[in-house]
Amino acid sequence: MAAKLTEVEGEFAKAIAGGGPDKLARHRKRGKLTARERVELLIDEDSPFLELCPLAGWGSEFHVGASTIAGIGIVEGVECMIVAPDPTVRGGTSNPWTLRKTLRINDIVRENRLPVISLVESGGADLPTQKEVFVPGGRMFRDLTQASAAGIPTIALVFGNSTAGGAYIPGMSDHVVMIKERSKVFLGGPPLVKMATGEESDDESLGGADMHARVSGLADYYAVDEQDAIRIGRSIVRRLNWRKQGPAPRTEVIEPLYDPEDLLGIVPTDLKIPFDPREVIARIVDGSDFDEFKPLYGGSLVTGWAELHGYPIGILANARGVLFSEESQKATQFIQLANKTDTPLLFLHNTTGYMVGKEYEQRGIIKHGAMMINAVSNSKVPHISVLMGASYGAGHYGMCGRAFDPRFVYAWPSAKSAVMGGAQLAGVISIVGRAAAEAKGMPFNEEADAGMRAMIEAQIEAESLAMFMSGRLFDDGVIDPRDTRTVLGMSLSAIHNAPIKGADGFGVFRM
């Protein structure tokens, strides 16, 4: 675990480094704060910042983090989603991974009703990749306007150039702050204007803060410098009169009785070796107090009730990897009960999927597994998923993987996720190939088969790793296991900005 954690931290350091020392120095020489410094000044002093999707774009040709910082921070006591393009990385322009990350962030904003603060300094779309960002990129603006229509406050602090598509961020926000001689907001800059109309203009007269404050009216507030803009932004949040719509947590919170450092050693290096998820639960829930539901039935899935940072939760945690009919029925009932009591659900993944074989098919594993997936699909209480170890096959679906819209998905560095393990997938393809050769009366090439199996196993191993999955935004971040309680607490607190209401009914359960 330690080696994997170090590797993740090394990749995150690349995101923190932005465009590199030279571009950072040039940025500072202009008297500007970095995107991360702006975030740090904006949030309440000594309060945490839950950065989301920090590895977006990992493994691609683009910068780790997708050229933008996004996460949940507390501003004047209000949990806000903060989005800050990094102008030291290609001018803060949006590439395909920036777009995907932004759309994921917008989903979190909408589902959890989080006020949005955009720290704007962007050149709009990354033009060499326009074919991938232009058409789907319109959803960014749709999301922003729909958030406002839903009563979710949107605030834009403009720190520099905000051109082309970037100009629509302040144009579509509820509150706009611009900075004297720094903010430049226009659909087309002076060169484009001259080419299109023949008109001569300069940045300031075309889209400067002074013009927008005095003439166009786009600027609601006029700041003298970056620090002043951040001060005004905090003041705007303070006057929102924002109220959470979900129930408040208990005021007395008891820390777990066991050391979170132990979480580094609970998941075995070999994911084929099972571990007891109760050891994890005891280190993340309040007072290590866990009321287990059906402890003697369906032992491969642990279910029960707890509180985390004062918020009630229901927990489903894989214990021995494979899900049988009993576990599926147990999970279905538990999810129904959570919806009756409006209790959010936490899924702790370590599953190789649903059991296969003649006996289990005859006992109804298909309909029972489908029952569990039906319950997860139609549950209306908020879900959070944490991939601790394996998360393979339909078990990933039954445990509320990304496709089932959990409010948040996190992964430990030890996590792996794929349709099945590499050895199993390679073995299946080998068996099919061998059968096909026999059916045609052809000799089977054992040497080629061995090479194929080795290649497939290596590919699946690489593509199932936590960093690979996180780079493709199949989770919201790879987290240090020791931070799990804090991350979940912040996530639950954010979730409670929106109402918590369970489902009134479910689809047809095949019995």
DSSP states along 99-117: HHHHHHHHHHHHHHT--EE
260-415+478-495 homologous superfamily? 2-enoyl-CoA Hydratase; Chain A, domain 1 (3.90.226.10)
DSSP states along 374-411: HHHHH--S-EEEEEEEEEEHHHHHHTT-GGG--SEEEE
How many angstroms separate the Cα of 455 from the Cα of each of 434, 451, 459?
17, 6, 6
**What's the confidence (pLDDT) of residue 265?**
94
Q: In CATH terms, are 2-238 and 260-415+478-495 the same topology?
A: yes
How far is the first Cα of the chain from the last one, in angstroms, to the nearest whole number? 42
CATH class of 2-238: alpha beta
pLDDT digits (tens, 9 = 90+) for 366-378: 999 999 999 999 9
How many angstroms separate the Cα of 192 from the Cα of each of 92, 135, 210, 215, 474?
20, 21, 21, 21, 39
Distance CA 294, CA 504 (A): 24
Regions in the chain scoring below 70 on pLDDT: none
**What's the confidence (pLDDT) of residue 192?**
84
Nearest CA among 162, 28, 151 for reference residue 92: 162
Distance CA 139, CA 122 (A): 17
Residue 198's φ and ψ, nearest 5 degrees, are 80, 0
**What's the confidence (pLDDT) of residue 7?**
95
For the chain, what are the domain ranges? Answer: 2-238, 260-415+478-495, 421-465
Residue 27's φ and ψ, nearest 5 degrees, are -65, -45
- Other C-beta atoms closer than 10 Å to the C-beta of 207 total 26
Whether 158 contacts 87, CB under 8 Å: no
Whether 105 contacts 66, CB under 8 Å: no
